[in-house]
Amino acid sequence: MIKKLGNTFVLETKKTTYAFQVTETKHLAHLYYGRKIRLSEDAAGVKEVHIFQPGNGISYDKEHQNFTLDDLKLEMSSYGKGDAREPFICLTHEDGSVTSDFLYEKYEIKENKEEICGMPSSYDDEGNASTLLITLKDKAYDLTLVLKYSVYPEENVITRSAELINDSENTVKIRRIMSNQLDLDAGDFDFTNFTGAWTREMKKSVMPLKAGKIVNSTYVGVSSNRANPFTMISRRNATEDFGDVYGFNLIYSGNHYSAAEVSPYGKIRFVSGINPEGFEWTLDKKDTFQTPEAVMTYSAEGFTGMSHNMHRFVRKHIVRGQWRDKVRPILLNSWEACYFDISESKLLRLAKAGKEEGIELFVMDDGWFKGRNDDKRALGDWEPDPKKLPGGLKSLCDKVKRLGLDFGIWVEPEMINEDSDLFRAHPDWSLSIPGKDHSEGRNERFLDLTRTEVQDYIIEKMSKVFDSADISYVKWDMNRNMSDVYSASLDKERQGEVAHRYMLGMYRVMKTLTEKFPQILFEGCAAGGDRFDLGILSYFPQIWASDDTDAFVRSEVETNYSYGYPMSVISSHVSATPNHQTLRRTPLETRFNVAAFGVLGYEYNFPDLYADELNQIKADIEFYKQWRELFFFGDFYRGRKYQDASDITALANFTGNELEWTVVSPDKKKAAGMLMQMLVHPNSETAIFTPKGLDPDKDYHFYNRALKYNIKDFGSLINAVSPVHVRPDSFAHNMLAKKFHMDGELEDIKSSGSALMYAGVHLKPSFASVGYNNDVRYYPDFGSRIYLVEELDNGDEEK
């Protein structure tokens, strides 16, 4: 709900209030963002009081000697009139001046959420959102700035963007234009961001906001694995369940910038938008520039409360199309099973083995198009390789479909190899500086998507591929960062526009293709998580979150994505052990458990596996099919988290070694929890799992799956029970392992939601050398369990 009280604008959601006021000077003073409050008409007590000009400060004008912009919370700050903090906007005017002064002119309230032109934006198909448009005019130049606020009451989310309109007869250069600015009163706050690299995305860093500024940005052309655009500001004492937490994101896939700055007066300023580094946009007369849309939320209920706001928002107002509310098919992808070495017969063997396990969708990854035997050639051409696929895509697809599986493929449409027919025909179609050496990344270059004819080429080529067979799923990859950014089709004065124009072109291509093929399930990918953002999620309902399929790495990566993104957009696969990225060995049980909380898939050479593993995988898939609605639609909670493995004190104190996740159905009738450990902590008999999000007043049945363990996992300990000596890994050992299995422990507890959550469930002890029977947990390094929780109906004691 949006209302105007006197000269105060109030934006209300179910649990939050956001307010700002027009000052006497016609600037916009930010008043408040936080838990819901009732404001008096004049905002007494909430607005700042400034009686004298601080020494050495800049007075705004003669009539307002006591008014300095530098120490006022503002909705947006123009550069040049005394506010020396991070500005919202920096322009170079025709006369060379870099000073702007945007002042309030009028407002409009709309009872809907409008799309943002040419860019992905949030949407509302439930009729709850409303929008406030604030029009500002520059005092000295003919420029209009419209600040757009949309309010999503149910999700406690506010989005912001800005549009600059050049009403003058001159061009103006935009050097910086942000999407969001939030000024907060001084306080003990932390800033959290998520940085990383290929195969180790989303490392969480919490930094105190004390002085100066912290910047979270990327300048590699894409939203990047080095700094995800999602960030948080939290009160220092905030925990998972209590305390002030703000979450911020940007619906954008290119160079982004967020900064949290502590002013000399202690106030906090947060800004976010397109990265001004390398960006310069010439705005012609009568032209407009629209910024990407920023997303923010606040919760007084700690990190979990903030995450839940973001999760609901992403699920309902970012992800769209036919797949939004549908559980996803369990897929088997050929990449880690075959890499580039594919052929129709090999793929069919894999698909057949997948079908036997219960797989629903078979995905042919890279390597299928002409000459693509490695990553050095053929990107751009998109014709099936006749040697590998003699009958083309259709023949393979039809055969896969006859097995009873859906069929999907991998593409990387935005890229071109120098060694391709496309490059030979159109050498100027890639982003590169004419006549200069180019730096390659994975032997490929970006196609120049600032050009309409290149966008049209991709749309046409991809349409042909998608139409050539009954394709149900597309993995849309993108495998490099930008370098040598230059478009041969733009004037030299406009080269600072290339990176953003690329994004606009890319969004046009994605929008056209996803609208043309609404039945296809698209999955975004960028060497794993190099472009995991809300821009991509506006077109593709899920993203391959990391090329790292190691269950331990993934358990942390997924925990950290979960701060800003729902698990239902995080694609997660079970793969071989030792793992191909880390050589770490983790139990199959854990590999499945971790993947099941995301969108489950496999990339695993099933035809190579032995009966034990195949049986386990089959049982896992069957289990997942029974429970996947919960995993997909449930509310996700983080519990305990790992501490740095090097923190010996933490381990010695029995903390920091465990990870807990719970997913709870919206009606709180069902839940699934995961407990995972990093390393075995010997002789620790007491282990506790603390589910979250249950109804404290309901009674529940808490139990686990009946699993069996391989006696070979106990190594030469077999000789502690065997009447004859068994040489480890000998024929006899393998024969025994085939015949006998160790029963896993069973938990079977009936208790109230309050007891399960607040006292924690005390589990059966894990193996501690002195004995093992079926009341003892087999729990090696990286061991884990899924626990199931179901509401007990009255008289349903036997469940």
Q: Which residues bind ligand GLA (CB under 6 A)?
A: 335, 365-366, 375, 410, 477, 479, 525, 527-528, 544, 547
User: What single letter denotes the amino acid at residue 127?
Assistant: G
DSSP state of 624: H
Closest distance of CB 603 from ligand GLA, Å: 8
Q: How far apart are CA 71 and CA 186, in angstroms?
A: 11
Closest distance of CB 467 from ligand GLA, Å: 22
How much is the CA Rg of the chain, to the nearest whole Å? Answer: 28
3-class SS string, 301-344: EHHHHHHHHHHHHHHHHHCCCCCCCCCCCCEEECHHHHCCCCCH
374 in active site:
no
Closest distance of CB 275 from ligand GLA, Å: 24
Residue nearest to ligand GLA (CB): 366
Place of tokens 């995988």: 617
Place of tokens 């234009």: 177
Candidate list 477, 533, 620, 699, residue with the active-site label:
477
Contact (Cβ atoms closer than 8 angstroms) between residue 478 and residue 412: yes
Place of tokens 């190579």: 608
End-to-end CA separation in angstroms for the chain: 46
Phi and psi based region of residue 302 (left: phi greater than 0; alpha: psi -120 to 50; beta: remaining): left
Q: Which is nearer to ligand GLA, 357 or 477 (CB)?
A: 477
Per-residue b or e along 145-178, where b marks 16 or more CB atoms closer than 10 Å to that residue's CB: bbbbbbbbbbbbbbbbbbbbbbebeeebbbbbbb
183 in active site:
no
Tokens of 569: 């957009």
Q: How far apart are CA 612 and CA 741, in angstroms?
A: 10
Q: In 10 A of CB 214, how many CB atoms?
A: 21
The neighbouring-strand residues paired with 475 are 410, 523
3-class SS string, 145-212: EEEEEEEECCCCEEEEEEEEEECCCCCEEEEEEEEEEEEECCCCEEEEEEEEECCEEEEEEEEECCCE
What are the distances in angstroms from CA 621 to CA 358, 575, 608, 618? 6, 14, 18, 5
With H, G, I as helix, E, B as strand and everything else as coil, classify residue 606. Answer: helix
Place of tokens 């400060």: 57
Q: Which is nearer to ligand GLA, 243 or 384 (CB)?
A: 384
The neighbouring-strand residues paired with 228 are none
With H, G, I as helix, E, B as strand and everything else as coil, classify residue 749. Answer: strand
Q: Which is nearer to ligand GLA, 83 or 365 (CB)?
A: 365
Nearest in space to 270 (alpha carbons), one of 372, 160, 423 = 160
Closest distance of CB 102 from ligand GLA, Å: 43
Nearest in space to 444 (alpha carbons), one of 413, 486, 400 = 413
What are the distances in angstroms from CA 100 to CA 20, 87, 145? 21, 11, 11
Q: Which is nearer to ligand GLA, 83 or 477 (CB)?
A: 477
Q: In 10 A of CB 186, how many CB atoms?
A: 12
Q: In 10 A of CB 399, how many CB atoms?
A: 18
Q: How far apart are CA 311 and CA 315, in angstroms?
A: 6
Q: Which is nearer to ligand GLA, 78 or 479 (CB)?
A: 479
Nearest in space to 710 (alpha carbons), one of 615, 597, 605, 581 = 615
Candidate list 365, 547, 550, 635, residue with the active-site label:
547
- Greatest Cα pair distance, the chain, in angstroms, is 99
Q: How far apart are CA 552 and CA 620, in angstroms?
A: 19
Contact (Cβ atoms closer than 8 angstroms) between residue 775 and residue 583: no
Q: Which residues neighbour 783 within 8 Å (Cβ) at sequence distance 6 or greater? A: 587, 589, 590, 676, 677, 680, 766, 777
Q: How far apart are CA 382 and CA 349, in angstroms?
A: 24
Closest distance of CB 403 from ligand GLA, Å: 22
Q: Which is nearer to ligand GLA, 558 or 660 (CB)?
A: 558
CA angle 347, 349, 542 (to 5 degrees): 50
Report, as residue numbers or ranges, the catalytic residues: 477, 547
